[in-house]
Amino acid sequence: MKASTFLLGLATGVLGSAVAVLLTTPQSGKELRSSIKAIKKNANDQVQDLKQQVTNIKNSVSTIKSEVKETLPIFVEDTKASVAEWKEETAPIRQQLQQEISALQSSVEEIQQQISHFQNRKVKK
C-alpha cells in the first residue's frame, strides 16, 4: 500500500467522522462554528504529525538502505575470508578424523570376520 493512498484514506475517515459528529450534535450556530474550528485545528495537527512521522520513516529507511549498501559487501568478504581460514585450519583435523574413521572401519571388518570365523567353528563342532 502506498503512503499517499493510506494518508488519503485516513484523512477521508477523519473528515467523515468529524462531519458526522457535527451534524448529529445539537448545538447553536456559534457553538457549531467553534467546534468546527477546533476539530479542523485538531485534524490539521494530526495530519502534520502524520506527515512528519512518514518523513522520519522515509529518512530512516533511506539511511538503513545506504548503510546496508556500504556494510553488506564488507560483511560478505569477511565471512568468505573467515570460512576459508576455518577450512584451512581444520584441514589437518579432518584428515586425522578420516584416518581414524578408516581405522575404525578396518577394526569393525576385522571383528566381523573373527565373529563369522568363530560362528563357523561353533557350527562345525
More confident residue, 8 or 85: 85
* Residue reference for cell 467522522: 17
Judged by DSSP in three states, 25 sits in coil
CA distance 123 to 125: 6
More confident residue, 119 or 79: 79
CA distance 54 to 60: 10
* C-alpha torsion sign, points 57, 60, 65, 66: positive
What was the pLDDT predicted at 4? 77
What was the pLDDT predicted at 92? 92
Residue 125: is its pLDDT beyond 70?
no
What was the pLDDT predicted at 58? 94
More confident residue, 36 or 96: 96
Identify the band that residue 8 occupies on the pLDDT scale cut at 50, 70 and 90: confident
Neighbouring residues of 22: CB distance < 8 A, sequence distance ≥ 6: 32, 35, 36, 39
Query: What is the pTM (predicted TM-score) of this model?
Result: 0.44
